[in-house]
């Protein structure tokens, strides 16, 4: 990513959102440490890392899309919408398959199971797809009003 691909408004918004994301990351890490100290292991280390990174990552992605600082001017949002939509469908199919077969267990022996990963990916991809669709529709309305 080169800074010249974004205008000043997008760069300022991205920097502000990145600072907020950094703060959220610190808070999530502190909460994780507190829970591990009081409760013990609450998830497999890989799942724990995924959750710790996914929460701030989701915030950055959704806020960047909402503030129109996610895509460059030359990017085509339909490509991102289709890719994230496919990720939502595939991970959602894995979750639904687990639910239908009765093997979906989110908590086992007081710890989150690795099956939570598919559910988290579905939530992340689905929310990103919805945010991209909403931003695309808003941009179309703005461009249509400017042309009128």
Structure tokens at 118: 């598919």
| Number of domain units in the chain | 1
Which of 27-41, 46-60, 110-124 comes out lowest in average pLDDT?
Answer: 110-124
Tell me which residue of 57, 64, 118 sits closest to 92, measured CA to CA. 118
The pLDDT tens digits of the residues spanning 46-96 come to 999 999 999 999 999 999 999 888 876 667 788 889 999 999 999 999 999
Structure tokens at 16: 């502000």
Dist. CA 87–CA 120, nearest whole Å: 11
Q: Average pLDDT of 119-137?
A: 92
Dist. CA 104–CA 119, nearest whole Å: 10
Task: Judge whether 51 and 43 are in contact, CB under 8 Å.
Answer: yes
Structural domain harbouring 77: 3-147
Task: Judge whether 66 and 38 are in contact, CB under 8 Å.
Answer: no
Whole-model pTM: value is 0.84
Q: Average pLDDT of 98-111?
A: 88
């Amino acid at each position: 990513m080169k800074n010249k691909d974004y205008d000043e408004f997008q760069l300022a918004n991205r920097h502000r959102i990145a600072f907020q994301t950094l703060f959220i990351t610190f808070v999530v890490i502190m909460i994780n440490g507190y829970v591990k100290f009081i409760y013990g292991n609450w998830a497999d280390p890989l799942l724990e890392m995924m959750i710790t990174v996914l929460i701030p990552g989701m915030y950055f992605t959704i806020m960047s899309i909402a503030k129109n600082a996610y895509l460059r001017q030359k990017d085509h949002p339909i490509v991102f919408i289709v890719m994230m939509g496919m990720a939502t469908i595939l991970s959602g199919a894995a979750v639904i398959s687990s639910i239908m077969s009765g093997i979906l267990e989110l908590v086992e022996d007081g710890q989150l199971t690795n099956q939570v990963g598919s559910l988290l990916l579905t939530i992340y991809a689905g929310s990103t797809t919805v945010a991209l669709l909403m931003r695309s529709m808003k941009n179309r309305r703005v461009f249509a009003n400017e042309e009128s």
